[in-house]
Structure 1
Amino acid sequence: MRDTLKHKGMRNKLANLLAAKGIEDEKVLAAIREVPRHLFLDSSFEAHAYQDKAFPIGAEQTISQPYTVAFQSQLLQVKPNDKILEIGTGSGYQTSVLLKLKARVYTIERQLELFKTTSRFFGKMGYRPKKHIFGDGYKGLPEEAPFNGIIVTAGAPEVPKALLSQLAVGGRLVIPVGIEDQIMTLYVRKSEKEFEKTTFGNFRFVPLLEDKN
């Protein structure tokens, strides 16, 4: 598949739709306009790639709907050169939006099939996260902590303490919490021991799986 003027026009319409739905961060909307979402999907979905919908990407996982990607990205308040940890690389679409926001992205995927596919895709597209890791997102990435932001792209039954501990003071953790439906939750680290919690309504994600080994 190629990225054409038609695709760019469809991305503009999508960004305008997201703005109408309440996404206000112009940098996030600009990233949505830039990242060719259709290239992250099977070619059979190309005609629908710029609808505000989630689609399957294999390994019982999905590419999140664009509104969700934009909403989580907006909550992170990414500044250029921020160090961001992403739990759940998936298709790499959210990763790529973060890279367009000029973040230094460390991303973890626990599904080997997706990890291999996305590794090849990043190389082909020239998207370069600082690290792309096959591993257990529940544990985070302590050797690279602290992070200015952590984003979780799967539904967690509870907030992993490891992720909270890896936030820098002033850092932001964006995580959907719950079993069936999830509550989008933001934690801001105010000090070494104090976190401010804010919730933002219901979303639906695939579950965040923990490696019990």
Structure 2
Amino acid sequence: MNFATARLHMVESQIRPNGVRDPLILDAFASLPRELFVPENRQQLAYIDEGLLAVEAQGDEPARYLLQPMVLARLLEAVEPSREDHVLDVGGATGYSAAILSRIAAKVDALETSAALADAMKKRLSLLGASNVGVHAGALEKGVPSQKPFSLIVVNGAVAEEPKALFDQLADGGRLVAIMRRGWLGRAWLYEKSGDVVSGRPLFDASADYLPGFEPQPQFTF
């Protein structure tokens, strides 16, 4: 399989036709080898138009997925990332989204749940020369308060409720994107912070798995 051709096809047939016009975003997707962020036995599927298994479930750790390329690109288009941004990338699994952001923003802090995931991500990003990415391990829903404020936060999956702890880590004027999901229905949302007030608006329908820590809470009935 010619991965370079598949990558160009992904950009021209999946991403650009869905309204993504920012040249920084298009260039990042066109130049970054997505096949390096999935298991070797799934590399042939790296450029399909759907979310992709990146890490198998292990023990209490659920399986982890890369967002559908078109969904990730549209999320980024909505927040208009720039060379001045300090980004928090939440739940990027193997680091594909962090690597994309590293080619656009000034600084990226990537957060994953375990030291094993964080270490694997760090090694992969180092091999790709993403020197402006710091990798952290911890609860996704708590963010990385030691590195705040962030001008941009990207949540790489579905959340059942507004991620209010992450709102607290946004800079004034900062933006956050996430997929709010109710049952099987999901919709991308953009949140913007002005002073102490965060307002949100829906963007487009999107599907994604819940990220660990952002799942629906059990409902008790009597």
- TM-score normalised by L of structure 2: 0.85
Aligned with residue 192 of structure 2, among 188, 193, 196: 188
**Structure 1 unmatched runs, 5+:** none
Residue identity matched to 1:145: K
- In the alignment, is residue 156 of structure 1 matched against residue 172 of structure 2? no
Alpha-carbon distance in 2 for matches of 1:13, 1:71: 17
Aligned with residue 14 of structure 1, among 4, 10, 13: 10
**Structure 2 unmatched runs, 5+:** 58-62, 215-222
Contact 2:88 2:150 in 1 (8 A): yes
Residue identity matched to 1:19: R
How many percent of aligned residue pairs carry the same amino acid?
Answer: 25
Aligned-partner SS, 2:159: coil
Alpha-carbon distance in 1 for matches of 2:109, 2:122: 13
Alpha-carbon distance in 1 for matches of 2:30, 2:79: 19
Alpha-carbon distance in 1 for matches of 2:123, 2:133: 15
Alpha-carbon distance in 2 for matches of 1:167, 1:196: 12
Moved more, 161-170 or 122-131: 122-131
Q: 1:97 corresponds to which residue?
A: 100
Residue identity matched to 2:192: V
Q: Deviations over 1:136-172 (max 9, x none)?
A: 1211122211111011112111112221111111110
Q: 1:84 corresponds to which residue?
A: 87
Give the 5 Å matches for 1:88-127. 88-127=91-130
Aligned-partner SS, 2:28: helix
Aligned-partner SS, 2:141: helix
Cα RMSD between the aligned structures?
A: 1.9
Q: Deviations over 1:30-73 (max 9, x none)?
A: 11001100111222222222222222112311111111111111
Alpha-carbon distance in 2 for matches of 1:178, 1:114: 25
Aligned with residue 33 of structure 2, among 17, 36, 40: 36
Alpha-carbon distance in 2 for matches of 1:177, 1:111: 24
Aligned with residue 56 of structure 1, among 44, 50, 53: 53
Aligned-partner SS, 2:165: helix
Alpha-carbon distance in 1 for matches of 2:3, 2:201: 36
Alpha-carbon distance in 1 for matches of 2:118, 2:189: 26
- TM-score normalised by L of structure 1: 0.88
Residue identity matched to 1:10: A
